[in-house]
Structure 1
Amino acid sequence: MKYIGVKGVFFWIGISLYCFIATAQTSSPDRSQPAAGSGQREQAARLTHLAEAYRINENYPSAIATAQQGAGIALKLNDLTAATRAYTVLVNIYANTKQFAILKKTSDTALSIAQKARTPIAMAYGYYTQALLYNALDNADSVTNYAQLGLKAQGQHPEPYISAKIYYLLYALNTLWDDVQKVNTYAQKATENALQTGDYNLLSNCYIAQSTAADYNYQKSQSTDQRDLIIYYLRKVEDLHQQHPKEVAQKTYAIACINSADYYLRNFPATDEKAKANAIQYANMAKTAAKSTLYGQEIMASSLGILSEYAKRDKKTALEENYLLEAYTVMQDQKDPYYYTLINVVTALANLYEKNGNYPKALEFQKKIPEYKAKLFDRQQALNAQKLEIQYETEKKNNEVLMLKQREQYSRMQNYFYIGIAAVSLLGLIFMFRSYHFRLRYSLQREKQLQLEKQEAELQMKLEKEEQSRLKAEQQLLEAQQQQLQKEAMANLLQLEHKKEMLLQIKEKINDNDLLNINKIWNEEQLLDNDFEDVKLQIQQVHPDFFYLLNERTQQKLTPLDLKLCAYLHLKMDTKKIAQILHIEPKSVRMSRYRIKQKLGLGKEEDLNVFLQNLG
């Protein structure tokens, strides 16, 4: 992250891109194992969080050991997403400590595990590790490319934590280019995502990024609103530290304090006593906070530099000298000092002693400037050599991957060519096979055609037989209709004979001068007519062969009256009703039945009614 340097004085406070973002509590982490009874997956996650806590407090040996332990458990469980998170912590550490060789190997391992995991979040972490690698190698284009891939990989459901870290990395990258618009955009997006995580250290770093963006805006517009936003966001970091002291790293808080002191130093006139008091207060707060961190010397030297600047303004030479000498001592005590700051401290001391006429001291510190510059150059050269080596290996690997892809593409094309040849050969064989069997198929088709013609002829014969059967059925139907007409004629004849007999009876009664009740005769006739209509319908439904079979069976010729009586008996009419229809006595009906039974040659035990009904 960027904490703004003191301009016109002697410090250049550098840029730390990702040292202080964490997901776990950051004060005094211990190496204790997760709570008893927790699952192994939870254990792996907690170890990764603990490693991140060590990392942001710059306890790198403990961070590495804990992250490796978490990664090992996650890999045993085949939880590749958790393993990628653990490797991301390791990549962060190796990037911070400039261990380029192992950084390259670890970042490639993280990306490989993420690709095997095939989850959006794992791929986001994998791409983020590549962005960290190329950021350490000062390859800004690759950093931007992999950062954007990490954001895109998450799809519609991004994880706020990794999104905040990626946006923060893009923000820090664009501060190097002084791209004000992108600095503002990425700082804002990093903050929006950090607010969703509940990670107060992450949020504090994003607020510092917002204050830096506001400073860029102020330098461009000179708007007092933008100037006030600088201290507004830094105060939010201070508030978070007061509310959650165990969850905001001391170094993060110290950076916010030193930037607040620098804010009052740069943006307010020397005559503003209130601004001076605030600057001195925040410089001392930064100095105190930095003392409790492992690598806080640079921040302590920066705070002493601000205090020396105010001593210089107040013409307190002795106090200025004390602050500078203390800053020099602090930087010398550092095992691997930040030479830019050390050179600025030595230069300030040389100028101070020269101004005060203490030329031996001025010469002593002046001689140290080229010495430290040489060490800075040597370190930079060594780092550049490592970067070039890693870049060469990276390019070599990328070229090998490209060659493998080209070979794979060539092999694929070759396979397609062989497949094409095989397909053409197969088609040729198929053509030859079809040509060879064409005549055979033709002969088979010809034979099949002849068979079809034979079947057609047989079908034609069958149709002719069916037609003959149909004609025969129609003939039988006509015969049945003719017999029906005959039955209707018989029924009508029976009715006419009945009417004739009735008229003869009436005539006889009139000639005999008997009393005649016409109404009674009429009513009786009406009833008989109704009954006769039913009888007539039933007679029409008699089996067509009934009378023919009856005549075939009889041994003596049956009279029409016998036939009529047989028809009534066939219709299951009782003796009384037959007598009423024929206007005879029931006794006469029984005599006729006996006579018909004799003509038919039936035995005494045979029932005439059953015989006639079965005959029908």
Structure 2
Amino acid sequence: MNRIQKSLVLLLCTMSGLLYKTDVVAQTVVDSLKKVLAQPTLTPEEQVLTRLKLSRALSSTDRKSALTNAQVALSMSRSLKDSKYAAQSHSSLVSVMYGQEDIKGVGLQLDSAFLLAEQSGDPLTLENVWYRKGWMESRVGKPHEAVKSFQQALKYGEKQPPNSFTTSIYYNLSAIYADWDDLENQSRYAFACLAAAKQFPDPDDICNAYQAVATSYEHRFGKDNNARQLLDSSLYYNRLAIQFYQQNKDRISFSSALGVIALNTANLYAEFFPRNFRDSAQHYLRIAQEIGIATHQQEVIASSYGMQSSFELMDGHYDAAAGLLLTGLHILQESPAPDNNLMAHFMSNLSEVAEKKGDLVSALNFEREHSKYFAAAFDAEKMAIAKRLEAQYQTQQREQQVLTLQEKAAFNKKLNIVYIILIIASVLALIFLFRSYHFHLKSTIQQQTLLEKEKQDAVLQMRLKEEEAKTLELERQEAALQAQLQTEAAARLLAEQQLIQAQKEQLQKDLLAGTLQVEQKNELLQTLQAKLQEKSGDRNLIGQINRMIDQDRRMDEDFENAKTELENIHPEFFSRLQLKANNGLTRLDLKHCSYISMGLSTKEISSRLGVAPKSILMSRYRIKQKLGLGKEEGLDAYLMKEAGH
């Protein structure tokens, strides 16, 4: 590899640092965000988030507008209830102000972002702020602190939906481990970046993830040039990044990185492949030029011309090589702020070409220009180092202030504890004095109360004795009353028994009279039957009279049979029935009730009484009405119940 090509490789390594910074924005994305802001239905929260996206998109091309949009978003977020929007606004201002080299302002914005994020408690906002802290630390030369901040950010993002912060964290971690030459962790975080980017398919994140994986393979190949599969993998992911960019140009905000990727791909073909692969290198150089023109990146365009000049130099075409270098130099000089390092490389390469052509005067002049730009670059590097040191100093000062405040807070806390202890001791002393006085007062009151109680107890004892005497008198009177009541109850029971016995005797007399009457009637009937037989005239008439006499005799026999059963009926049976019926039952009704209480059926009762069953039913209905029984109450059950009482 010749000197020009080596210098361009060095340039590419220097420019690769741009891949970890914000770059030129695609105008289509800015226009799209402006259209969103113009919508009248946009909520205040949506306006804040859209302005923050617009600020990020403008951060490289129009830093003034980027700062304005971030400040407007911050102003709007202060009126919102949720402090997470203000925290995200302060976090966005960190990157914008860092681009403007406002180191002090960056620290203040980061402190405000942390305070508001802690107030909101929103995990995604905390991930954002911790990511921004790591991002800042990695740029001021504190990579170890940056790694800790990025790891803290990942903890907050563990349970959150896929987001761009996670992808950016993995991307930055891969870059830090690449600087530390830790290829294993560089590769691990590069693939983690790609996996996260595919879950949250932001076009810029996907391009960066492809580039991170490609760079990890390239670094591993640099350690082992015999492992050609690593080089092929690096080229594969570079091609994926370029292909994805070409398919999604209008959706990508930071396309400048793709120009560097195309340059790096061309350099890999030029450095590690035979000359017959030069067409592939030229192909990617043309892509780099197209991207550089589209994104107004003079450095990328100039570097493409510089690498093409190296090919002409290798073929011995010195004039063509010098022409390409001068074209690239002219493009760099048209840049508002040309990179002194790149200018120095071009002057050095032009000096080499002039020397090969034999033009020593031009070679000397170009070498002088190289020295001038190299010194300017060196001064700029010293200035950058000074700014980084200043940023570190500001950070340390701020950390020292925080430490001082923490120590002061700790001292105040201890002092407050002492004050609290003194207050507690004073309160306890007052409580002790109060309790002592209260105890003494209580003791005096208790003595007085005790004396008063003794007096009251004596009075109560007297009253109790009086009450006991009255109670004994009442008990004596109650006992006499109970004895009188028992005597009256015994007398009433005896009277009831006598009444029952009288009723029973009366019933027996009635039965005896009925029996005598029946006997007399039977004798009369027998006499009448004998007389009829003596004078038998009309046989039919005699037969009918005999049947009537026989039937009457059978009824008398039934009556004789029922007499014993009637005697077993409870003596109070008829009196209770008459009482319930208000003495409305006839002797026939009572006889009917007696048969029912003995369990005789309607047919049996009709046979004994010598009447039709229908008459028995009517009689039953009439008795039920006289007794005042309801529809649901059965006459048979009621009478049996009363007979067995």
* Bin for the TM-score computed over the shorter chain: 0.7 to 0.9
Q: Which residue of 2 aligns with 1:50?
A: 54
Contact 1:22 1:53 in 2 (8 A): yes
Where 1:178 maps in the other structure, the secondary structure is coil
For 1:475 and 1:214, locate their aligned partners in 2 and report how far apart those are by CA, in whole Å.
Answer: 122
Correspondence for 1:172 among 150, 172, 175:
175
For 2:332 and 2:390, locate their aligned partners in 1 and report how far apart those are by CA, in whole Å.
Answer: 30
Correspondence for 1:235 among 233, 239, 242:
239
Where 1:37 maps in the other structure, the secondary structure is coil
For 1:53 and 1:148, locate their aligned partners in 2 and report how far apart those are by CA, in whole Å.
Answer: 26
For 2:570 and 2:26, locate their aligned partners in 1 and report how far apart those are by CA, in whole Å.
Answer: 111
Q: Which residue of 2 aligns with 1:313?
A: 314
Contact 2:26 2:295 in 1 (8 A): no
Q: Which residue of 2 aligns with 1:284?
A: 286
Contact 2:7 2:345 in 1 (8 A): no
| Amino acid paired to 1:421 | L
For 2:471 and 2:331, locate their aligned partners in 1 and report how far apart those are by CA, in whole Å.
Answer: 123
Correspondence for 1:255 among 247, 257, 260:
260
| Amino acid paired to 1:408 | A
Where 2:37 maps in the other structure, the secondary structure is coil
Residues 492/27 of structure 1: CA separation in 2 closer, same or farther (3 Å cut):
closer
Residues 367/25 of structure 1: CA separation in 2 closer, same or farther (3 Å cut):
same
Q: Which residue of 1 aligns with 2:594?
A: none
Q: Which residue of 2 aligns with 1:523?
A: 562
Q: Which residue of 1 aligns with 2:602?
A: none
In the alignment, structure 2 segments of 5+ residues that lack a partner are 523-555, 591-645
Contact 1:91 1:107 in 2 (8 A): yes
| Amino acid paired to 1:532 | P
Residues 262/454 of structure 1: CA separation in 2 closer, same or farther (3 Å cut):
farther
Correspondence for 2:272 among 267, 271, 285:
267
For 1:146 and 1:116, locate their aligned partners in 2 and report how far apart those are by CA, in whole Å.
Answer: 19
CA displacement 1:301-333 (0-9 Å, x = unmatched) = 332332233223333333333333333334444
Cα distance, 1:280 vs. partner?
1.2
Cα distance, 1:402 vs. partner?
1.6
**Is residue 148 of structure 1 aligned with residue 151 of structure 2?**
yes
| Aligned positions of 1:442-481 closer than 5 A | 442=443, 444-445=445-446, 447=449, 450=453
Q: Which residue of 2 aligns with 1:205?
A: 208
Higher helix share: 2
Relative to the length of structure 2, the TM-score reads 0.71
Residues 378/132 of structure 1: CA separation in 2 closer, same or farther (3 Å cut):
same
Contact 1:111 1:129 in 2 (8 A): no
For 2:407 and 2:472, locate their aligned partners in 1 and report how far apart those are by CA, in whole Å.
Answer: 80
| Aligned positions of 1:591-606 closer than 5 A | none
For 2:561 and 2:485, locate their aligned partners in 1 and report how far apart those are by CA, in whole Å.
Answer: 37
Residues 357/481 of structure 1: CA separation in 2 closer, same or farther (3 Å cut):
farther
| Aligned positions of 1:152-551 closer than 5 A | 152-154=155-157, 156-158=159-161, 160-220=163-223, 222-248=226-252, 249-268=254-273, 270-271=274-275, 273=276, 275-294=277-296, 296-442=297-443, 444-445=445-446, 447=449, 450=453, 483-500=488-505, 520=559, 523=562, 526-527=565-566, 530=569, 532-534=571-573
Relative to the length of structure 1, the TM-score reads 0.74
Residues 74/574 of structure 1: CA separation in 2 closer, same or farther (3 Å cut):
same
Deviates more, 1:146-155 or 1:452-461: 452-461
For 1:466 and 1:167, locate their aligned partners in 2 and report how far apart those are by CA, in whole Å.
Answer: 100
For 1:443 and 1:519, locate their aligned partners in 2 and report how far apart those are by CA, in whole Å.
Answer: 101
Q: How many residues align?
A: 542
Contact 1:18 1:169 in 2 (8 A): no
Residues 576/362 of structure 1: CA separation in 2 closer, same or farther (3 Å cut):
closer
Determine which structure has greater relative contact order: mean sequence separation of CA pairs < 8 Å that are 6+ residues apart, divided by chain length. Answer: 1
CA displacement 1:38-75 (0-9 Å, x = unmatched) = 3352443333333322225x332332333333333333
| Amino acid paired to 2:10 | F
Cα distance, 1:214 vs. partner?
2.3
Cα distance, 1:484 vs. partner?
4.5
Contact 1:11 1:305 in 2 (8 A): no
For 1:214 and 1:468, locate their aligned partners in 2 and report how far apart those are by CA, in whole Å.
Answer: 119
For 1:12 and 1:243, locate their aligned partners in 2 and report how far apart those are by CA, in whole Å.
Answer: 28
Residues 100/473 of structure 1: CA separation in 2 closer, same or farther (3 Å cut):
same
| Amino acid paired to 1:324 | L
**Is residue 574 of structure 1 aligned with residue 593 of structure 2?**
no
CA displacement 1:276-303 (0-9 Å, x = unmatched) = 1111111122123212334x23222332
Contact 1:134 1:142 in 2 (8 A): yes
| Amino acid paired to 1:48 | L
Cα distance, 1:160 vs. partner?
0.5
For 2:222 and 2:472, locate their aligned partners in 1 and report how far apart those are by CA, in whole Å.
Answer: 112
Residues 508/165 of structure 1: CA separation in 2 closer, same or farther (3 Å cut):
closer
Contact 1:24 1:50 in 2 (8 A): no
Contact 2:154 2:166 in 1 (8 A): yes
For 1:509 and 1:115, locate their aligned partners in 2 and report how far apart those are by CA, in whole Å.
Answer: 118
Where 1:55 maps in the other structure, the secondary structure is coil
Contact 2:83 2:117 in 1 (8 A): yes
Contact 1:91 1:106 in 2 (8 A): yes
For 1:18 and 1:103, locate their aligned partners in 2 and report how far apart those are by CA, in whole Å.
Answer: 16
Where 1:19 maps in the other structure, the secondary structure is coil
Contact 2:67 2:97 in 1 (8 A): no
Where 2:55 maps in the other structure, the secondary structure is helix
Deviates more, 1:472-481 or 1:399-408: 472-481
For 2:412 and 2:586, locate their aligned partners in 1 and report how far apart those are by CA, in whole Å.
Answer: 110
Where 2:337 maps in the other structure, the secondary structure is coil
Residues 533/267 of structure 1: CA separation in 2 closer, same or farther (3 Å cut):
farther
Contact 2:24 2:295 in 1 (8 A): no
Residues 469/148 of structure 1: CA separation in 2 closer, same or farther (3 Å cut):
farther
For 2:32 and 2:584, locate their aligned partners in 1 and report how far apart those are by CA, in whole Å.
Answer: 125
Deviates more, 1:22-31 or 1:282-291: 22-31
| Amino acid paired to 1:237 | A
For 1:259 and 1:474, locate their aligned partners in 2 and report how far apart those are by CA, in whole Å.
Answer: 126
For 2:441 and 2:221, locate their aligned partners in 1 and report how far apart those are by CA, in whole Å.
Answer: 95
Where 1:230 maps in the other structure, the secondary structure is helix
Q: Which residue of 2 aligns with 1:609?
A: none
Structure showing greater radius of gyration is 2
For 1:225 and 1:453, locate their aligned partners in 2 and report how far apart those are by CA, in whole Å.
Answer: 112
Contact 1:215 1:227 in 2 (8 A): yes
For 2:105 and 2:567, locate their aligned partners in 1 and report how far apart those are by CA, in whole Å.
Answer: 127
Contact 1:10 1:347 in 2 (8 A): no
Deviates more, 1:240-249 or 1:505-514: 505-514
Where 1:437 maps in the other structure, the secondary structure is helix
Deviates more, 1:121-130 or 1:136-145: 121-130
| Amino acid paired to 1:281 | H
| Aligned positions of 1:107-126 closer than 5 A | 107-126=110-129
